[in-house]
């Protein structure tokens, strides 16, 4: 029955598709995280959100190009979105075709990331396009996040509905792709935050979220393995030569999971000892941060983000 079910030959994919998988997850995950941060609206969240919108844009320039190149005749890619049949010209949208739905989702999400990217430049004073700032409101970001979730996870679902061994033997690939995209996006945004000091107060929270997504990714890998046991194809994935792949996966997951277990979510309070929060440290006055010399006035707002800046007597802000 397995031979009959898996009747299709292996897909003739080049490295373009592998790069597309990675970029689509990174773009979709970054846009979703940026929107969540914008809605949270804590200290540093807007600055970190703009990092996410910046990150989401470049992959959406490259991903469609990679898909077109993999077709072999990239100049004919537009046939997937426009019907060229004589007498039936028009938009070519087939709701029953995963390939057609995915193509349109990429086009729409690409347009959304372009608007949000331009709006981030406007908010940072790098560009003058007031219209995009009006378009890039919270409702727009929510719609973009829905498309971002779809783009990040749909490729895994597409593999699951194929006739290929292993891929069609599990239902966990869509969630695994999405969790991986979110974890990678959170890690990249956390890294880029060091070049944007205004985003510092949100760096710890994003670091914790990256670790939690890694935990979700591990759970889905377990589900993936269990479903393959039932299908009898576990050895094809975890045996040689693919065992080396899982060593690399473990090397990427273990540091974050170790930090999650040892720091007990203390990453949301950067610079503090694990388990301690401002105002709850034994022997210290409420609101003071470790390492602040006695008698030095500080700003409570900055302390809430884990950063200490001198208080300016002439102003109520740090």
Could you report the per-residue pLDDT of 247-259, keeping only the tens digit for each? 999 999 998 898 8
The residues near 88 (Cβ < 8 Å, ≥ 6 apart) are: none
Name the token pair of 295. Answer: 């008698």
What are the b/e assignments for 89-125, b being 16+ CB within 10 Å?
eeebeeeeeeeebbbbbbeebbebbebbbbbbbbbee
According to the model, what pLDDT value does residue 265 have? Answer: 52
Q: What is the dihedral of CA 75, 77, 82, 86, to 10 degrees?
A: 60
Answer whether 114's CB lies under 8 Å from 57's CB.
yes
The mean per-residue pLDDT over the stretch 32-44 comes to: 95
Half-sphere exposure of 141 (CA within 13 A, CB side): 26
- Higher pLDDT pick, 268 / 22: 22
Q: What is the pLDDT of residues 108-124, one digit of tens each?
A: 999 999 999 999 999 99
Q: What is the pLDDT of residues 179-214, one digit of tens each?
A: 999 999 999 999 999 999 999 999 999 999 999 999
Other CB atoms within 10 Å distance of the CB of residue 43 = 19
Q: What is the pLDDT of residues 288-315, one digit of tens each?
A: 444 444 444 444 444 444 444 444 444 4
DSSP symbol at 311:
P
Of 17, 62, 16, 21, the C-alpha closest to 153 is 21
Q: What does the mean pLDDT of the chain come to?
A: 80
Name the token pair of 309. Answer: 């800046």
The mean per-residue pLDDT over the stretch 59-82 comes to: 77
Strand extents, DSSP E, 200-283: none
According to the model, what pLDDT value does residue 285 have? Answer: 46
pTM: 0.78
**What's the distance, CA 8 to chain centroid?**
32
According to the model, what pLDDT value does residue 291 have? Answer: 45
| Cα–Cα distance measured from residue 257 to residue 214, given in angstroms and rounded to the nearest whole number | 7
The residues near 233 (Cβ < 8 Å, ≥ 6 apart) are: 2, 165, 166, 169
pLDDT of 222 higher than 80:
yes
The residues near 227 (Cβ < 8 Å, ≥ 6 apart) are: 169, 170, 171, 172
- Higher pLDDT pick, 142 / 5: 142
């Amino acid at each position: 029955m397995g031979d009959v079910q898996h009747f299709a030959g292996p897909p003739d994919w080049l490295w373009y598709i592998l790069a597309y998988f990675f970029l689509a997850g990174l773009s979709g995950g970054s846009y979703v995280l940026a929107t969540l941060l914008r809605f949270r609206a804590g200290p540093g969240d807007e600055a970190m959100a703009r990092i996410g919108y910046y990150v989401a844009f470049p992959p959406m320039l490259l991903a469609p190009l990679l898909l077109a190149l993999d077709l072999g005749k990239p100049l004919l890619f537009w046939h997937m979105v426009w019907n060229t049949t004589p007498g039936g010209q028009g938009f070519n949208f087939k709701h029953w075709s995963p390939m057609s739905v995915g193509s349109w989702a990429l086009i729409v999400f690409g347009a959304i990331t372009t608007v949000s990217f331009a709006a981030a430049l406007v908010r940072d004073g790098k560009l003058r396009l007031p219209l995009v700032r009006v378009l890039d409101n919270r409702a727009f970001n929510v719609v973009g996040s829905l498309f971002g979730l779809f783009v990040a996870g749909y490729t895994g679902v597409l593999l699951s509905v194929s006739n290929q061994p292993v891929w069609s033997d599990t239902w966990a690939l869509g969630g695994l792709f999405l969790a991986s995209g979110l974890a990678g996006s959170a890690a990249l945004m956390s890294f880029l935050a060091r070049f944007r000091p205004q985003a510092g107060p949100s760096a710890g929270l994003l670091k914790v979220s990256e670790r939690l997504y890694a935990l979700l990714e591990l759970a889905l890998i377990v589900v993936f393995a269990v479903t393959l046991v039932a299908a009898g194809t576990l050895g094809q994935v975890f045996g040689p030569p693919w065992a080396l792949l899982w060593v690399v996966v473990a090397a990427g997951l273990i540091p974050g999971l170790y930090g999650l277990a040892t720091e007990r979510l203390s990453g949301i309070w950067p610079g503090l000892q694990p388990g301690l929060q401002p105002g709850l440290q034994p022997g210290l006055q409420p609101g003071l941060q470790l390492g602040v010399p006695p008698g030095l006035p500080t700003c409570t707002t900055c302390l809430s983000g884990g950063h200490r800046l001198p208080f300016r007597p002439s102003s109520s802000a740090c």
